[in-house]
């Protein structure tokens, strides 16, 4: 008989563990939560367990946001009766009452429900509400007890505020004594039903603030998009006979459209494609097993880097263009200072080949800010062609024009070697030009740094630039 009882006990214990593992947001009469154990709402927003607030060593049963750091507690059960050690246990009784007991089985807190229960179990909802229910009855009207009826210092969406005239239950907020002590502090915030209902903030018995009586009229409210680009919520105040701003939706700087530029990621760290990225093969969804292929046309704008809950993003490029993206230092190359520029870098061999060694046949003009040359860009790796630097060694601020393989016209400007501008100053200037975006400003597409050579790659302007008419001469 004793052996049979042992088998039954072990089976019940294993069954209890299986229930906990499959229903992480629920506990029943056969389960309990010890200090160090938690249950989590179905969506992973809230968590229930024992904690110590601030620098306190006392232990409390509470609910907090699981994914928020630092820990943000929204509800405390035994706020007036803390545990002094880690022996606390949360249990569900056969009568459908939640109890927190200490190591000596002393009851420190209970939900004190008077409604009868048949198959009681407690569940932490995704709203942050801890509810006691009969079986799996999810109707809020049938809950035996719920934490939303007993708020602490936090009002969550879905909570009811004020007094239930039928049951006499008064729902109001009460502050913590301190950041280390969640017991009731001096301040309370609730609805006063004497006379016209109104919200009162009290310090003890003294009224600190009142929102004014509610005369049963609906609140007049509107959401306005203002000329400065902000959305503001206004509430009409009869006493002042004016609109009052009750909420201002401030912009997240990184949510500003195209703030990082085309192909920019968060801090404008991106690249401009040189060849159209066309998918020429068919992929079926089942092959990706959760992945997909996203197609876009034109410039890709507003990619943002998220530290959590983001989606990995892989860019498919034409194989012929990958040579441009190799920024690693190779033996024999002078890539000094190229690793921190937030725009595409072109190697000198490519530009030499594209401009026919910067020949006069490709030169478009010359002036105070630089002559202009014609360019036809070819894909070529550094070191695959021989070139003669003497062909343009004495040229100052020369500019060339040309065409990318995909048809985009460009201009290449060669900076003067007589300039005393160092590498650091050149990089700073390039960064500044990159961040300037205006419809009346020519766009900087890239640059080249090789030894003492400094070259800038711009959009080509068929009607010439303003400085050509002010300072330069046309060829």
CB 299 within 8 A of CB 263: yes
Q: Are residues 67 and 173 in the same domain?
A: no
CA distance 244 to 237: 7
Q: Are residues 390 and 461 in the same domain?
A: yes
Q: Using pLDDT thresholds of 50, 70 and 90, give the confidence band for residue 403.
A: low
Q: Using pLDDT thresholds of 50, 70 and 90, give the confidence band for residue 42.
A: very high
- Number of continuous H segments (helices) and E segments (strands) in the chain: 5, 28
The closest of 246, 224, 249 to 236, measured between CA atoms, is: 246
Residue 444: is its pLDDT beyond 70? yes
Judged by DSSP in three states, 123 sits in strand
Q: Using pLDDT thresholds of 50, 70 and 90, give the confidence band for residue 89.
A: very high
CA distance 11 to 24: 20
Q: Are residues 312 and 334 in the same domain?
A: no
- Considering 68-72, 161-165, 208-212, 428-432, the range whose residues carry the highest mean pLDDT is 68-72
Q: Are residues 106 and 226 in the same domain?
A: no
Structural domain containing residue 147: 2-151
Residue 200: is its pLDDT beyond 60? yes
pTM, two decimals, is 0.50
Structure tokens at 268: 């404008």
Residue 345: is its pLDDT beyond 50? yes
Question: So what's the pLDDT on residue 108?
Answer: 95
Chain centroid to Cα 203, Å, comes to 38
pLDDT-wise least confident of 15-19, 221-225, 372-376, 381-385 = 381-385
CA distance 226 to 237: 20
Q: β-strands 444-450, 453-459: how paired? A: antiparallel
Q: Are residues 246 and 294 in the same domain?
A: no
Question: So what's the pLDDT on residue 319?
Answer: 55
Q: Are residues 340 and 203 in the same domain?
A: no
Decide which of 119, 151, 183 is a domain's last residue: 151
CB 45 within 8 A of CB 171: no
Q: Are residues 184 and 306 in the same domain?
A: no
Q: Are residues 388 and 284 in the same domain?
A: no
CB 224 within 8 A of CB 232: yes
* Residue 288: DSSP 8-state: H
User: Which tops the pLDDT comparison, 171 or 23?
Assistant: 171
Phi/psi region, residue 323 (left: phi>0; alpha: psi -120 to 50; beta: rest), is: alpha
CATH number at residue 350: 3.30.200.20
CB 61 within 8 A of CB 110: no
Q: How many domains does the chain have?
A: 5
Judged by DSSP in three states, 141 sits in helix
Give the pLDDT confidence of 294-313 residue by residue, as tens digits: 666 666 666 666 555 556 66
Residue 271: is its pLDDT beyond 90? no
Q: β-strands 162-163, 145-146: how paired? A: unpaired
Can you list the pairs that 340-344 forms with residues at least 24 positions away whose Cβ atoms lie under 8 Å?
340/427, 341/427, 341/430, 341/431, 341/447, 342/267, 342/268, 342/269, 342/270, 342/431, 342/434, 343/272, 343/430, 343/434, 343/444, 343/445, 343/446, 343/447, 344/271, 344/272, 344/445, 344/446, 344/457
């Amino acid at each position: 008989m004793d052996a049979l009882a042992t088998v039954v006990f072990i089976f019940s214990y294993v069954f209890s563990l299986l229930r906990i593992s499959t229903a992480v947001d629920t506990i029943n009469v056969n389960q309990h939560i010890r200090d160090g154990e938690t249950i989590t709402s179905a969506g992973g927003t809230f968590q229930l367990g024992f904690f110590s607030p601030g620098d306190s060593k006392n232990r409390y049963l509470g609910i907090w946001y699981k994914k928020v750091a630092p820990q943000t507690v929204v509800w405390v059960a035994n706020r007036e009766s803390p545990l002094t050690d880690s022996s606390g246990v949360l249990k569900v009784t056969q009568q459908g009452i939640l109890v927190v007991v200490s190591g000596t089985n002393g009851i420190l807190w209970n939900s004190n429900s008077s409604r009868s229960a048949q198959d009681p179990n407690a569940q932490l909802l995704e709203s942050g509400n801890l509810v006691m229910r009969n079986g799996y009855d999810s109707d809020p009207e049938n809950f035996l007890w719920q934490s939303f009826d007993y708020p602490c210092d936090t009002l969550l969406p879905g909570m009811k505020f004020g007094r239930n005239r039928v049951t006499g239950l008064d729902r109001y907020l009460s502050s913590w004594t301190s950041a280390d002590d969640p017991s009731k502090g001096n301040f309370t915030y609730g609805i006063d039903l004497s006379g016209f209902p109104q919200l009162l903030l009290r310090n003890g018995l003294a009224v600190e603030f009142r929102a004014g009586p509610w005369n049963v009229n609906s609140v007049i409210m509107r959401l306005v998009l203002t000329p400065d680009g902000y959305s503001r919520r206004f509430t009409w105040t009869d006493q002042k006979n004016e609109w009052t701003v009750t909420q201002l939706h401030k912009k997240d700087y990184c949510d500003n459209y195209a703030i990082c530029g085309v192909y920019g990621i968060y801090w404008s760290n991106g690249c401009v494609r040189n060849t159209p990225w066309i998918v020429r093969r068919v992929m079926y969804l089942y092959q990706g097993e959760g992945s997909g292929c996203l197609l876009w046309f034109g410039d890709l704008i507003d990619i943002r880097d998220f530290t959590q809950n983001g989606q990995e993003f892989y860019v498919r490029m034409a194989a012929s263009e990958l040579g441009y993206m190799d920024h690693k230092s190779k033996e024999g190359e002078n890539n000094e200072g190229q690793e921190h520029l937030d725009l595409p870098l072109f190697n000198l061999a490519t530009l030499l080949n594209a401009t026919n060694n910067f020949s006069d046949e490709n030169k478009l003009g010359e002036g105070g800010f630089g002559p202009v040359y014609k360019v036809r860009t070819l894909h070529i790796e550094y070191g695959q062609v021989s070139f003669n630097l003497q062909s343009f060694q004495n040229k100052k601020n020369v500019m060339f024009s040309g065409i990318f393989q995909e048809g985009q016209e460009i201009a290449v400007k060669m900076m003067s070697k007589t300039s005393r501008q160092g590498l650091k100053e050149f990089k700073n200037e390039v960064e500044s030009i990159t961040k300037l975006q205006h419809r009346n400003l020519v766009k900087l597409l890239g640059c080249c740094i090789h030894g003492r050579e400094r070259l800038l790659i711009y959009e080509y302007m068929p009607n010439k630039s303003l400085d050509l008419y002010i300072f330069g001469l046309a060829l």
